[in-house]
Amino acid sequence: MVKKTSIWLSAAIPGPLRIPNAVKAGPWVFVSGTMGGPVGGGLAPEVRGNPDLPLAGEARGIRESRYILTTIEAALKQAGSALADGVWLNQFVTGREHVDPYHEVRRDFIRPPRPASTTVAQPELLALDATVQVDLVAIDPALSPRKEGITTDRIPQPLAGAGYSPAVRVGDLVFVAGQMATDFRTGVAPEAQVNPTFWEGSAIRRQTEFILKNLAVALEAAGSAMDQVVKAQIYLADLADLPRFEDAWRAAFPTDPPARTILPASAFGCLGGLIEINLIALRSGGKTRKQIVQGPCPVPLGHASPAVRAGDLLFLSGLCAADANGLIRAARVDPAFPYAVSPILAQTEWILDQADALCRAAGASLDAIARQQLFYTDLRDVAVSFRALAVRFGDGMPATSIVRVPGIPVPGCGLVADMWGVVG
């Protein structure tokens, strides 16, 4: 088994949520979701500012973003890495007005080639009044092939200054940034729109097909292809669009689909955007092969593989406590006896059992999980849920991000876990 090393900064607080700043496993460094305060705690005083002079000095978004990236930089340094070694960057914001200050600071901290990046808005973060949360995957350059930034002029390019890399390649792995159905000039691209004059076409399908076409171009530029995709994250403005999205998805991945996680988002970087997709793939013709992992857990919702192994990385599809009948029975509340069950505890324990089963099917165990993004519909559930996580992971808690989402595809489910493992 690959050894996991937890990275704790001196500023970390011994609070109820014992989340490491980062976890190093093999050549990989996984940074926990970082906000404008110590990981596992609230916003720092220097970020909050003087409540009696709230408009004095720098904009709070600048202070918050600088604190986030300074903290991540310190954690990476302790792990033998740096921001320049980042390959996969996720940003969750609570509103569009918080993106520009963050981008302004990010340009100072992260130079091209920047990590493949995805930014979506979600309704709430774990720290009260936090507006930005960032998590990152990086490499230890002493233990990994070099990072290569991939560019192409065959897909729409983002607005100047955003610092967007279409893809990043490390050895046989290709990380593709989140893409929306935009031409970055007029908003939603004309070819991704439905003519409102006629009863014809599906808006979500048009946008999905536009994105998938551009993702294929980005993959080609990186020496990969759609059949080499091992992991995907899909964010939808409306979960009711999932069935029509699925039509386009099945056409793009007719066999051996990637592991995937589907979640809602409260807003995207393009007005009128209905969907954003990011991908991880393997280089075509490389030494590393895509291995579909079939475990005893229920098949994920829709067209996805339960898990996919790609070299030393194991990607699990997003796990929620559901089977063929919807929410698992153990998490259902008897309305005549409502206080006997903790639904979120039952859901968390079930998810951990399924994750362990998938890891074992790949020749590892739950201890291999080094990174997890936890998406809750109610952040008041975190305390109980996290206790179950702490019992199972002990001192080996993965790098962890926690975000509230507007909903989950299965009614009654309150948690989706997106997990990565590092396997020998």
Q: What does the pLDDT look like over 331-366, one tens digit per residue?
A: 999 999 999 999 999 999 999 999 999 999 999 999
On whether residue 331 sits in a domain, the answer given is no
pLDDT at 160: 61
Of 236, 230, 283, 278, the closest CA to residue 258 belongs to 230
Report residue 424's pLDDT band, with 50, 70 and 90 as the boundaries: confident
pLDDT given at position 295: 82
Instruction: Please give the tally of structural domains in the chain.
Output: 1
- Quote the tokens at residue 389: 């996580």
Q: Mean pLDDT over all residues of the chain?
A: 95
Q: pLDDT confidence of 300, banded at 50, 70, 90?
A: low
Residue 53: CA atoms inside 13 Å, Cβ hemisphere, count? 5
Q: How confident is the model at residue 227 (pLDDT cuts 50, 70, 90)?
A: very high
What are the distances in angstroms from CA 401 to CA 263, 301, 342, 396?
15, 22, 22, 15
pLDDT band per the 50, 70, 90 thresholds, residue 182? very high
In a domain, 5, yes or no: yes
Domain for residue 112, yes or no?
yes
Q: Report if residue 288 sits inside a domain.
A: no
Phi-psi region of 213 (alpha: psi -120 to 50; beta: other; left: phi over 0): alpha
User: What confidence category does residue 164 fall into, taking pLDDT thresholds of 50, 70 and 90?
Assistant: confident
Q: Is residue 66 part of a domain?
A: yes
Q: What pLDDT score does 159 carry? A: 64
**For 87-137, how does the pLDDT look when each residue is reduced to its tens digit (9 = 90+)?**
999 999 999 999 999 999 999 999 999 999 999 999 999 999 999 999 999
Q: For position 386, what pLDDT does the model report?
A: 98
Residue 59 lies in a domain: yes
Higher pLDDT, 164 or 188: 188
Mean pLDDT of 42-58: 92
Can you give the pLDDT at residue 298? 73
Asked if residue 188 lies in contact with residue 272, where contact means CB atoms within 8 angstroms, the answer is: yes
What percentage of residues in the chain have a pLDDT greater than 70?
97
pLDDT reported for residue 166: 95
Whether 26 has a pLDDT exceeding 70, the answer reads yes
Greater confidence, 118 or 298?
118
pLDDT digits over 247-292, tens only?
999 999 999 999 999 999 999 999 999 999 999 999 999 999 999 9
The pLDDT of 17-25, averaged and rounded, is: 96
Identify whether the C-beta of residue 194 lies closer than 8 Å to the C-beta of residue 272. Answer: no
Residue 125 pairs in a beta bridge with: 403
> Which pLDDT belongs to residue 271?
96
Contacts of 371 (CB under 8 A, 6+ apart): 23, 30, 137, 398, 399, 419, 420
Bridge partners, residue 170, by sequence: 147, 173
CATH number of the structural domain spanning residue 101: 3.30.1330.40
**Is residue 44 within 8 Å of residue 70, measured between CB atoms?**
no
pLDDT single digits (tens) 361-385? 999 999 999 999 999 999 999 999 9
| CA separation for the pair 176, 333 (Å, rounded) | 41
Whether 185 maps to a domain, the answer reads no
Residue 250 lies in a domain: no
Range of the domain at 133: 1-144
CB-count burial class (<10 Å; 0-12, 13-18, 19+) for 212: buried
